Amino acid sequence: MRKHLLIFFVLIMSLTSACQKQDTEVLTAPTFSPTETLLILSTPTEIIRRTPIPEIKISLPHSLFILAENKVWRLPAGNTKYELFSEPDVKVTSFDIWGRDEQFAYSSVDGQVYIVRDGQEPHLYHDLRSETESEFLIEGFSWSPDGTRLAYAVSYTSDDVKRKTGYPSYPSGLWVMDVNTGIPNWLLSNHYYSGELDSTTLRVTHDVLWSPDGNAMIVDSGFLEHKDMLLLEPLVPEAHEANLIDVEGFGDRLNAAWSADGKTYFLSGNGYGAYSTIAEVNRETKEAILLLDGESEKLSFMSSAQALDNGIVFLAMRDEDIPEQFPPYIPHQLFFGSRKNTSFEYALVDPEQICEEGVYEITWSLSSEWGFLVCSYQSPHTFKVISPNLEILDITSLLSEFIDVEIQDAVWGQ
């Protein structure tokens, strides 16, 4: 799941009465100012609380796309009804949207990559099924910032094939498609680092994160016992293993996020004893600074950290709130934090106002204006929208058909 779901809103009180007088209210993007929203707090243990507004009929400012049961559904901007967006007879494994719903890329369980442009019929760009007899999965679809290139990952699903894979292991690994030429470029192969068939050293690419300028990407690499985030730069057609840069991120790196200007990126994960860490890495010098040390802060089980314009939002758990017996999933808590000079300060968002049963996933829009939140790993789910100003709104009623199904992925339109 992409990395990452959540939505949450609190409209200013002057709008509340107006919203109640109308059948539908389109939300406008708030401004993110830590000093005004109490994001920067005097003590990191302080809990952020806001007064929720009554539920109203609401339409979103951007389209929201949801992958569930291998079909893509769209809740259009300015609308209160969702619709089937993918082809009815196609089982989708991964997808991404670019622009105002103008370019829709997806992969099918049959091993094919399709792109839909400007409402036209789906066009087959890459048929991987014709290139291998082994079972595989296409995942991690990601458009470049300018919408001219499409990245995706291919991995074998058979454990036996994975164990026997050599190097290079065509067609597994990372691909980038130039949509203007229609030519797919195989950049990286999944393979064993050790050169021996040691399953703990098998690197499998799952996803990528483009830099804001489109000249680099962070590669999400999974191993049997841990995950790693590798920087691929420069990003040129002949890019390969020699262009991969491994940067120390203080622990097992589960997630990465670029800063808005692309000069730094954030690596988050868990160190020894599952203690949470967040490190900021300078893109040019590769110097890494530890922002959050979970062992000293008593924070564990980091799930993800996302950089917003003026802060960082992350999922973790305070040690004091860890249950004696874990449920089948970790009930993550939501934290907002920000750099203040050389220090990093953060605060917990009151769980009673968002997800008492714990946060499962959160996905932020490209502009960081809104997040889509899924509460609870197990059904029934509840769905919220969240802004960096901690505006919170429950939109479960808009997505009532999905409360008992697995949400495979969610993507915001622009």
> pLDDT tens digits for 332-376?
999 998 887 778 889 998 888 788 888 988 998 877 788 899 998
Q: 66-70, 71-75, 183-187, 350-354 — which is least confidently predicted?
A: 350-354
In the predicted structure, residue 271 carries a pLDDT above the cut 60: yes
Q: What is the pTM of this model?
A: 0.82
Residue 187 lies in a domain: yes
Q: Regarding predicted confidence, which is higher, 73 or 366?
A: 73
3-12 residue pLDDT tens: 333 332 222 2
State the pLDDT confidence band at 183, using cuts at 50, 70 and 90.
very high
Number of compact structural domains in the chain: 1
- Is 172 inside any structural domain? yes
Does 193 fall in a domain? yes
Look up the domain containing 327 and give its range: 13-412
Establish if 1 belongs to a structural domain: no
Asked if residue 40 belongs to a domain, the reply is yes
Higher pLDDT, 181 or 118: 181
Q: What is the pLDDT of residues 131-177, one digit of tens each?
A: 887 788 999 999 999 999 999 999 887 766 666 666 678 888 899 99
Domain at 358, CATH number: 2.130.10.120
Q: 3-state secondary structure string, the chain?
A: CCCCCECECCCCHHHHHHHHHCCCEECCCCCCCHHHHCCCCCCCCCEECCCCCCCCCEECCCCEEEEECCEEEEECCCCCCCEECCCCCCCEEEEEEECCCCEEEEEECCCEEEEEECCCCCEEEEEHHHHCCCCEEEEEEEECCCCCEEEEEEEECCHHHHHHCCCCCCCCEEEEEECCCCEEEEEECCEECCCCCCHHHEEEEEEEEECCCCCCEEEEEECCCCEEEEEECCCCCCCCHHHEEECCCCCEEEEEEECCCCCEEEEEEECHHHEEEEEEEECCCCCEEEEEEHHHHCEEEEEEEEEECCEEEEEEEEHHHCCCCCCCCCCEEEEEEEEECCEEEEEEECHHHCCCCCEEEEEECCCCCCEEEEECCCCCCEEEEECCCCCEEECHHHHHHHCCCCEEEEEECC
- Which of the residue ranges 31-35, 93-97, 308-312 would you say has the lowest mean pLDDT? 31-35
Read off the pLDDT of each residue in 84-96 and give the average, rounded to a whole number.
Answer: 94
Give the residue, 121 or 52, on which the prediction is more confident: 121
Note whether residue 7 is domain-resident.
no
Q: Is residue 226 part of a domain?
A: yes
Note whether residue 119 is domain-resident.
yes
